[in-house]
Structure 1
Amino acid sequence: MVSIGIIGAGPAGIAAARVLIANDRSYDIDLFETSSKIGGVWNYDPQSNNTAMYDVLETNLSSHLMAFKDYPFTNIDPNIKTFPGREQVQQYLESYYDSTVANYSKLGLFTEKRVISLEKVDSHWELKADSDDSTYIYDYIVVANGHFNKPFIPTVPGSYQWKNQSHSKNFVNSEHYRGLNVVVVGNASSATDIATQISTTASKVYHSVKPDSETNWPANSIIEVVSQIQSLDEPNSNTVHFIDGTSIQNVDHIIWATGFQYGVPFLKSYHSDLFRNQSNRLYNLWEQIVYKPDPTIFFSLLPKNIIPFQLAELQASIIDLVILGSITKSDMVDADNESITSSDYHSLPTPKDIEYYQHLGSIVARHGPDSKFKPLTWTDSLVQERISSSKVKAERQKLLVQWAIHQNLQNKPYSIPPDDFTG
């Protein structure tokens, strides 16, 4: 009997389990989860600071675009908002798991078990967790531990001496920054969201972005766009210098919303082959999924700027076909783009992500026409919805900024605006 160990019970892990179960191969499947329940990054606990979530957070994707195949968000709430809050996403994931995975008779769910070691011994994988002395044996491994665990903070002169700084992973809510002068660093959505939130309580917010950024804030906001940080003065002076020659004094705190590095600490003996002294991309992977030297281990949801839930099911369909033998090593002939050493390799901004979904879909259709689980088909209407999704969210962001201005004037912390707020 084929046995499969899945490391991580977040969206990637439970989607892999769902697809493997739905295809009715009678696999023995175990899920290992560090926290007390499924959900991964969406399972938020402000006390443990175990995820990249924070108190008040809504999705960047619409609920329609974000949903797993044949499992709409309306399953948990017929009146679901266009951009659900993190609590609703966690509820949705639990509902999806309960409906598609939990009742499988050959499933094991091990919570509060952090995988600390994974080694290939002869023809099988030996897995060990930190909470017991057992050794778990598997034929195949799916690594679905996410990439929001290892914060990346760029090194600039003076940064090691600067005390009042943190990563966006440590952000909880706007109250922590009441009355402070704060610099938020980053070009992605987390920086924009955090700057918006703390503008309700901070004295002044400076949004530090790269020179080619098109970031703009309304004139009546307390947020000001500044250039990229060049250096930080000694802690006592609290001065930040920027590459355009300007400086800001009396900075109380810096928030680095500068992303995350990849990490698979339990695969120590494979680090040199997977990372090649890099921390922002993995090598030797066919289609960013299958480890080519040994296609008995797979990696889920490494790409960034994607629709994660749908992609997790699509990648799981590829994994299933490799395990089944319908995709063999001789089929894994892509170039792997070995020359791309930066995180750009895993970055798939639209329309690159659409091309990737369609490409994987064609592989599944070619090698697995008889598979019971059929991944989502990217129709023209879905493609157009994805292409326009950034504009839709940008309009939503404008409303959130106006709400933050409103809350600031009322001396109230950030919250999700009521449905009747129009700006």
Structure 2
Amino acid sequence: MTVSSPKYRRVAIIGGGPAGLAAAKALGLEPTKFERVDLFERKENIGGLWYYTGKTTEAYPPVPSVDPNVGDVFETSDHREKYFSPMYKNLETNIVSSVMEYHNFPFPKGTSTFPTRNEVFEYLENYSKTIPSDVNIKVNSNVLSLTKKDGVWEVVVENFATLEISKQYYDGIVLANGHFDVPYIPKVGGLKDWNEKKPGSITHAKYFDEAKLFDNQNVLIIGNSASGIDISTQLSIKAKKVYVSSRDKSQVADIINYEVTNIGMITKYDFDDDRSVTTVDGQRFNGIDSVIFCTGYLYSLPFLKSYLTGDDAIITDGSKIHYLDKQIFYIPDPSLAFIAIPKFIIPMPLSESQAAVVARVFSGRLTLASETELRDEYSKEIEQKGNGSEFHFLKFPADVEYCRSLQSWVDENGLGKTGSQAPVWDEAKYKDREETADIKAKRLLKIVEHANKLRESGEDFRLLTE
């Protein structure tokens, strides 16, 4: 389909991480040129959460943390210092580099099998150089509000460099701001009281940076996801004792670390009873110095001022984003699109698959079904997945099938050869994705051995080189 002018002439992208960069490139490559495409990134550089500058700001989560509208507790009044990466000092990915890549943009030769955070950041920096020059990337630009007024999106932006606040107007919006900002810490008996009596002792993986800050402490980790396993392994070098509490067996890997004690789900915290916790099976552990929740994040859109109330409210408790068609378009108003909302996915290739669709829909080359039809499809999806957080789960092979379905939509409309291209999930790439978990599990066993040697020699944790 050929169109002479785009459906949405002016487009704003919020977020300069992997998703935002993919959207910027896709919109820039669209053959039907937009009047203006602006990307707003609140930090001083692109990269999103991969742009790590250390944890220099004293920040703590609210405890419990169950409200997507309540953010961090800071000991600074400087807004620019409040936006830090949830990455930590010694971090490598859980995904092999060959699977992480954008379309026709491989990692450099010599990249680690599981890239370090710095290798990923450099990769994103290089990818950003492939974005067409007519896309305006605006760093140090914090979006304060996003409001739909008389059919136009008003974006209020604060420039951190000049401290100036401006209003800018757009026809289409791409939200690519991620979902790693508001930590989720559940309500559990005694937890709030504990935090009030020893502020800072209850924290979240978002604020973790390195193990030596917990030297000689008894540390309790809540959750055995990828971050729970990684952080507990690093802590086992410096901490006096490390406990990992979980409800179920880890879906990442079944790792035995004799320096880590696995316990059941915590049902009670009692600071006054020798800083003790009680598990669901009645076990009691005392003398806990710090608790780190590795329990994920809530979806949060603090700047969005429209579509927050009524039956079509886009976000409520933070467990999901409501009324999204294909996990992308807000059904009541498709001029609002999201990139990389799903979980358990590979961010770069999925973002490009979604961005390719967004660019074609925003230009008008690809057409969505009617609102009635989209609502019917959404209702069917709710019936299948439920209306909670699992609605956004795309665990392998669902993630690959999803990307293939988006590509089929593009191809069936004869739009596959012009505009941005997404990675092709051929048999080789599918196999790499399929084997990633097993390869990482073997890698984790080596990392545990590496950590034990560092502990015996009294060294700080450092990444295991290949």
Q: TM-score range by the shorter chain?
A: over 0.9
In 2: Cα distance, 1:386 partner to 1:125 partner: 39
In 2: Cα distance, 1:180 partner to 1:38 partner: 36
Q: Provide the residue aligned with 2:118 in structure 1.
A: 87
- Tell me which amino acid in the other structure corresponds to 1:151: P
1:327 aligns with 2:339: no
The alignment's C-alpha RMSD in Å is 1.7
1:238 aligns with 2:269: no
Q: TM-score, normalised by structure 1?
A: 0.93
Post-superposition shift, 1:307? Answer: 0.7
* Structure 2 residue corresponding to 1:8, chosen from 15, 26, 49: 15
Q: Provide the residue aligned with 2:342 in structure 1.
A: 303
Q: Provide the residue aligned with 1:193 in structure 2.
A: 230
Post-superposition shift, 1:213? Answer: 4.3
1:97 aligns with 2:128: yes
In 1: Cα distance, 2:409 partner to 2:273 partner: 58
Q: Provide the residue aligned with 1:399 in structure 2.
A: 446
Q: Provide the residue aligned with 2:63 in structure 1.
A: none
Larger deviation, residues 246-255 vs 270-279: 270-279
Post-superposition shift, 1:374? Answer: 2.4
In 2: Cα distance, 1:406 partner to 1:82 partner: 22
Q: Provide the residue aligned with 1:210 in structure 2.
A: 247
Larger deviation, residues 335-344 vs 180-189: 335-344
Post-superposition shift, 1:235? Answer: 4.6
Post-superposition shift, 1:302? Answer: 0.3
SS of 1:258 mapped into structure 2: coil
SS of 1:398 mapped into structure 2: helix
Q: Provide the residue aligned with 2:171 in structure 1.
A: 139
| Conserved 8 A contact 2:179-2:298 | yes
Q: Provide the residue aligned with 2:69 in structure 1.
A: none
Q: Provide the residue aligned with 1:350 in structure 2.
A: 396
| Conserved 8 A contact 1:151-1:167 | yes
| Unmatched tracts of structure 2, length 5 or more | 58-82
Post-superposition shift, 1:146? Answer: 0.4
With a CA cutoff of 8 Å and minimum separation of 6, indicate the structure with the bigger relative contact order.
Answer: 2
In 2: Cα distance, 1:212 partner to 1:399 partner: 20
Q: 1:130 to 1:348 in 2, by over 3 A?
A: same
Post-superposition shift, 1:45? Answer: 1.8
* Structure 2 residue corresponding to 1:30, chosen from 35, 38, 43: 38
Post-superposition shift, 1:134? Answer: 1.4
Post-superposition shift, 1:187? Answer: 2.6
In 2: Cα distance, 1:213 partner to 1:18 partner: 37
Post-superposition shift, 1:158? Answer: 0.5
| Conserved 8 A contact 2:30-2:360 | no
Q: Provide the residue aligned with 1:127 in structure 2.
A: 155
1:361 aligns with 2:407: yes
Tell me the alpha carbon deviations over residues 57-112 of structure 1, each in whole angstroms, 9 at most, x when there is no partner: 001111111011111011xxx211101110111111001101x11x51x2222211
SS of 2:25 mapped into structure 1: helix
| Conserved 8 A contact 1:278-1:341 | no
| Conserved 8 A contact 2:102-2:422 | no
Q: 1:223 to 1:406 in 2, by over 3 A?
A: same
SS of 1:130 mapped into structure 2: strand
In 2: Cα distance, 1:71 partner to 1:418 partner: 24
| Conserved 8 A contact 1:165-1:253 | yes
Larger deviation, residues 193-202 vs 24-33: 24-33
Post-superposition shift, 1:276? Answer: 5.4
Post-superposition shift, 1:211? Answer: 3.6
In 2: Cα distance, 1:248 partner to 1:87 partner: 38
| Conserved 8 A contact 2:103-2:423 | yes
SS of 2:355 mapped into structure 1: helix
Post-superposition shift, 1:324? Answer: 2.3
Q: 1:268 to 1:187 in 2, by over 3 A?
A: farther
Q: Provide the residue aligned with 1:318 in structure 2.
A: 357
